Amino acid sequence: MEVNVSPAASAHCAECNLTFSVDTMIRFKTVYFCPDCKPVFLQKLVEGAHINTGEFRWAGFWIRLGASFIDGFLLLFVLLGVQLGLGLSFGQIVGFETRTPLMWVLTQALSLATGVLYEGGMIGRFGATFGKMACGIKVVMPDGGAVPYKRAAGRYFAKLLSSLTIYIGFIMAAFDDQKRSLHDRICNTRVVFR
């Protein structure tokens, strides 16, 4: 008579990412920790430090607002340089001097294109703009995957819609359980801590 014995189950340690038998590991929520990492895990648990359980940590309203200020500051200088390169004087850019309607339309189109390329390109490539990187947050799909370029560009236009609602679209993040703004709901994205 032959007896089939199944091999012991194994899992990856959430701290060192090595594989061990689950018999020698401790489990916390959905993750395991190996014998060597148990003291580190227990110390984090005692101190209340963040423990990577594979769950998302949603980025709230204030951290996202800080990232937006950083991005706005960067884009201000980029647009200022581009408009000076087009031949506008500083007075025309600021609004102290008049500019032709054609030049106004051109600068508005340039501003829109710069925003779409910056936001769409950075989020599509890196998952975050420079402001989000500085704040330690990123934009992901609901499953944690990367945001495609088209959706990232569409997210920029949805952000314009969020601002047209007297910024209520942005304030929604403070009251949503997953900290989603209007543009996150439209594009089905989430902003999480890295």
pLDDT of residue 192: 94
pLDDT of residue 30: 80
Question: 88 and 14 in one domain?
Answer: no
Question: 13 and 87 in one domain?
Answer: no
CB atoms within 10 A of CB 189: 22
Indicate the pTM of the whole model: 0.73
Can you say whether the dihedral through the CA atoms of 101, 106, 112, 114 is positive or negative? negative
Question: 170 and 105 in one domain?
Answer: yes
Q: How far apart are the first and last CA of the chain?
A: 54
pLDDT tens per residue, range 57-84:
899 999 999 999 999 999 999 999 888 8
Confidence class of residue 193 from pLDDT cuts 50, 70 and 90? Answer: very high
pLDDT of residue 7: 55
Question: 46 and 30 in one domain?
Answer: yes
How many domains does the structure of the chain reveal? 2
Question: 94 and 67 in one domain?
Answer: yes
Supply the range of the domain harboring residue 5: 1-55
Which of 122 and 49 is assigned the larger pLDDT? Answer: 122
pLDDT tens per residue, range 78-120:
999 888 888 878 888 777 888 788 888 888 898 999 999 999 9
Question: 80 and 48 in one domain?
Answer: no
Question: 132 and 43 in one domain?
Answer: no
Question: 128 and 171 in one domain?
Answer: yes
